Structure 1
């Protein structure tokens, strides 16, 4: 399935796998040798949202973080670790989507005062890419493990693409990585080897889907700005 895929894309996919392995390895080491006393059941029970106000506080903090470019994968991992897989995935996805909406709105207002689209080449390419077929192209960017969530949100806001298509595709595109990292966080907390293994399997499936989308995108003469050859 990987034939006809450029070496640069294969390099990005391999980098994604290695980054995931390193991420889990560091998390396991920190839990076992450095923060063993912190990562206790009682600690996370106190931290876990037990009231509606704390749930809103978690979402607000995570949304603001992702709005400013903080990795959404870390939000999903922490949510999965502290809140469990299902609830962690739900809150992490909601938080990331809210951050996307806030960034989009901010970029829309900011673009009226500054010519941002004319100052940054990648923003220009992203805006041009999202000019048509907003849902499909947004989904491609979100699913492919290469790119910047912040830049995509800014480009969409600056070019003022269709909100409903952009936000719905973003929510759907966020889900795979939210599930993978929330599952891995929950697996480390529960010391569940099958959850960690399942998160790795889901990552591989996600990468295979990315390759399929890339090849389909090439056939339709679309060019993802994040993987465009320089």
Structure 2
């Protein structure tokens, strides 16, 4: 099974570097180019744009660009759904590659970082991954690889990622579609989700700090 997954990764890498997806990746944020490309290629063009977006996100590229593109191509609602699916599949691919192929390699080269992440995510993994997804900074690729390598439960990883990706995805899909043409309810929803994400992030981080402080106090009394 491990070799089958490795073979699939190699096939996808070959497709990526063969030049099939290069034009799309080079123009993925250019609305005029995308319009002409989709008009010319039709359903094949739509499929290749999805594949190129997957490659971009899986390689650590910004999911905001993908949300912008799909908001323009499909509209804000369908664009948000398609972006979430692409991002979740890419995150799961990173997670599985790390879990199946890279665990020992990452442990050898980054033992301190893996240990710190394991301590961070071992308690309430859903909430911790949710916090990392809601934060507008940080690398999704690093989070995916570390989550897979330390064995974060896959269901917590996927559900927290889906919820955490939603606010920014919806906002950038609206921008791609054109906020002037968007429904007011969608705009208010995106603003509300953004505010909620900041509040949730603050609450989760406060809980993490309280737990860390209580652990240090217990260790101090024990010593």
Specify the alignment match of 1:157 in structure 2.
148
Ranges in structure 1 where 5+ consecutive residues have no aligned partner = 1-34, 223-230
| Structure with more relative contact order (C-alpha pairs < 8 Å, separation 6 or more) | 1
Instruction: After TM superposition, give the deviation of residue 84 of structure 1 in Å.
Output: 0.9
Structure possessing the higher radius of gyration over alpha carbons: 2
**Which of 81-90 and 208-217 deviates more?**
208-217
What do the CA deviations read for 1:99-138 (whole angstroms, capped 9, x no partner)? 0011111112332552x13423444422332223221211
**Among 63, 73, 79, which residue is 1:72 paired with?**
63
Aligned match for 1:119, one of 109, 125, 147: 109
Counterpart residue number, 1:46 = 39
- Equivalent pairs counted in the alignment come to 182
Identify unmatched segments of 5+ residues in structure 2.
1-29, 214-223
Q: Which residue of 1 aligns with 2:72?
A: 81
The alignment's TM-score, normalised by the length of structure 2, stands at 0.67
The answer on whether the counterparts of 2:103 and 2:150 sit within 8 Å (CA) in structure 1 is: no
RMSD over aligned CA atoms reads: 3.2
TM-superposed deviation, 1:200: 5.8
Matched, 1:140 2:131: yes
More helix by share: 2
User: Residues of 1 paired with 2:156 and 2:196: CA distance?
Assistant: 25
TM-score (norm 1): 0.65
Cα contact 1:145–1:207 (8 A) shared by 2 = no
Structure 2 match to 1:211: 202
- Contact 1:123–1:155 (Cα < 8 Å) also in 2: yes
Q: Helix, strand or coil: the match of 1:221?
A: helix
